[in-house]
Chain A
Amino acid sequence: MPKLHLADLMAGNARFAAGTPTAQQATAAGAELAIGQAPYATILSCSDSRVPVETIFDHGPGDIFVVRVAGNFVNDDGLASIEFAVRKLESTLVMVLGHSGCGAVDAAIASLSGESFPGHIGRLAEAVAPAAVSAKSQAGDWFTNTIAENVRANVAALTARSAILAEAAAAGTILICGAVYDIHSGTVDLLT
């Protein structure tokens, strides 16, 4: 079932990328949704205004439980939110979604050259920095590779840091995957 759900999400993205969305324009007449939610998917994504999760997957309210922080990395409260979605709402698909042109990833790369950032912005760079270190020696574009590496690292972090998610993944009740959204083409590519 988690795999069918992934296909459903990806089909929605194909409609979005093609400029032919079919999700009914949501209205407030959500009497059904006011009673409760049963989002089949949970997505950890970036705060970037160009990545509205529901829109890029052509899905409506009630379908996707969404955690967003600049740099789409796992923190304790985001993890708690995802655990809540899996344990209480029975979400069966968990996706970590990065995107091209990510400012937090750029900051992480800059931080490796000794750049520092004011206020709490430095926390974002710190959180993504390990991916920048891992990707530095890889062939190809460092920035692009760090975006993917950050997704992979956080996919791994979900089960490494959460017993609830690790158990659900081991039991096959959830599927965890990573993907990257291309802000030029509108396409989401699953990472392997």
Chain B
Amino acid sequence: MSDTSNLISRKALLAAGAGLAAIALDAGPLGLRAAAATNATVGNAHLSALMSGNARFVAGTPRCIPATARRTELANGQAPFAAILGCSDSRVPAETIFDHDPGDIFVVRVAGNFVTDTGLGSLEYSVAVLKSELIMVLGHSSCGAVKAATQAAQGETFPGHIQGLATAIEPAAKATKGKAGDWVANATAENVRMNAKALLAQSTILSEAHAAGKITIVGAVYDLHTGKVTILS
């Protein structure tokens, strides 16, 4: 076995699990607890890196990906600075729309970009073991899963496990029903906000890291037409 350097660090996991305590959430940007100064500085730098990449993508001037050399370097381990919870939609490849290289972003994808137990476990792994410092929940325009949720909110049902997607996003659809503007667009933003909050509410590892100023959590929406990512406030 030659990939040992990247394997789970038992020490890191123990550290992450030590002294777990409940964290009360205050209202703030996205309803998240206000961040410590170190958190804001590091998190803002990482967020700027991502947003600059998106600007290059929008402008049609992405950097060349130095795949081969980077791959050799990465075979010894990963240290992604950001973790993104995004949608499975084929039009939203996180690395491409942020113009970042392999190794930069840890990515969880499920249709509708909502928090699941194992998705949360993946993000916890990224923060506790790989030391990612930025977590982004990323929704996108014309999301099929969000549209299904708005239909579910009107009584429609879906076959197989697909109903589960609609049910998971239904709270965001119900919260935005009847609001001014486009329902699917409003539900998309609400779904991002709700799931950014859920990260802290459902995970002690993430809420502790956040309170300690080790991670920044943001919500954002990708526009399929323009290619632009907008940070939600």
Contact = CB atoms under 8 A, between A and B. Distances in A.
Contacts of A83: 159-162
A28 B227 CA distance: 4
Contacts of A61: 90-93, 96-97
B205 interface: yes
B157 interface: no
Contact of A69 (B74, B75, B90, B122): B122
Interface stretch (A122-130, A131-139, A169-177): A122-130
A119 B62 contact: no
A29 interface: yes
A107 B122 contact: no
A119 B124 contact: yes
Interface residues of A, number: 76
A118 to B, nearest CB: 3
Interface in B97-151: 97, 102-112, 114, 116-122, 124-126, 128-130, 141-142, 144-145
A118 B78 contact: no
27 contacts: A16-B67, A26-B96, A27-B58, A27-B227, A28-B226, A30-B224, A30-B227, A34-B224, A47-B83, A49-B105, A56-B102, A64-B90, A68-B109, A77-B168, A80-B111, A83-B162, A84-B88, A84-B111, A101-B3, A103-B7, A119-B20, A119-B124, A121-B124, A124-B122, A162-B161, A164-B161, A183-B74
Interface of B: 1-3, 6-8, 10, 13-14, 16-17, 20, 57-60, 62, 64-65, 67-68, 71-72, 74-75, 78, 80, 83, 88-97, 102-112, 114, 116-122, 124-126, 128-130, 141-142, 144-145, 159-165, 168, 203-205, 224-228
Given A81-B165, A117-B17, A119-B124, 8 more contacts: A28-B226, A34-B225, A37-B90, A39-B90, A47-B107, A77-B161, A118-B17, A120-B205
